[in-house]
Amino acid sequence: MARLYVLLFIVQIILAVCALISCLSTEEGKIRALPRLVWVLIILFFPLVGSIAWFLAGRPAPAGKPGSGWRPGEGPSERERPRQVAPDDDPEFLRSLDTERAKQDREMFDRWEADLRRREEELRRRDADEPPRDDSSPTGNG
């Protein structure tokens, strides 16, 4: 019989420790019924009853339970809920890729065209600076 009392005492202590940890780690705004300090005192002075009371009335309600923020049937339906689209299936993403590629191609074309005009201008200046060659003069062959 003594072993049963020891076992129940250990279970009570474990339950109280779990309740304290849960109480102290819960955000202040989510604690129900009483302030945190009162819950801690109840759990410490009445470990078994306080722990059970904390788990039933003090801690935040799990999601989907009454009193929580969400209830079944609320919110957008499956058809209205936005779905994620893979990048290769997203037309807007593909359009942005095409736009970016076209912009890069245009910039490269503009650089090539500017380079070509610069080279043509250099050739014109060099041709203008050179004295004209006279092909009718004798070359010394005779």
CA-CA distances (angstroms) from residue 142 to 21, 82, 135, 136, 137?
115, 93, 15, 14, 12
Is pLDDT at 8 greater than 80 in this prediction? Answer: yes
| Count of Cβ atoms closer than 10 Å to residue 139 Cβ | 6
User: What pLDDT is stored for residue 69 in this prediction?
Assistant: 53
pLDDT digit string, tens, across residues 50-67: 999 999 988 876 655 555
Domain ranges (residues) in the chain: 8-58, 88-129
Mean pLDDT of 34-43: 91
Of 93 and 115, which is predicted with more confidence?
115
Is pLDDT at 129 greater than 90 in this prediction? Answer: no
User: What pLDDT is stored for residue 88 in this prediction?
Assistant: 75
pLDDT digit string, tens, across residues 58-96: 887 665 555 545 555 566 666 666 777 777 778 888 889
The model carries a pTM of 0.44
Q: What is the overall mean pLDDT for the chain?
A: 82
Round to whole Å and give the CA distance between 89 and 84. 10
Confidence of residue 9 (pLDDT cuts 50, 70, 90): very high
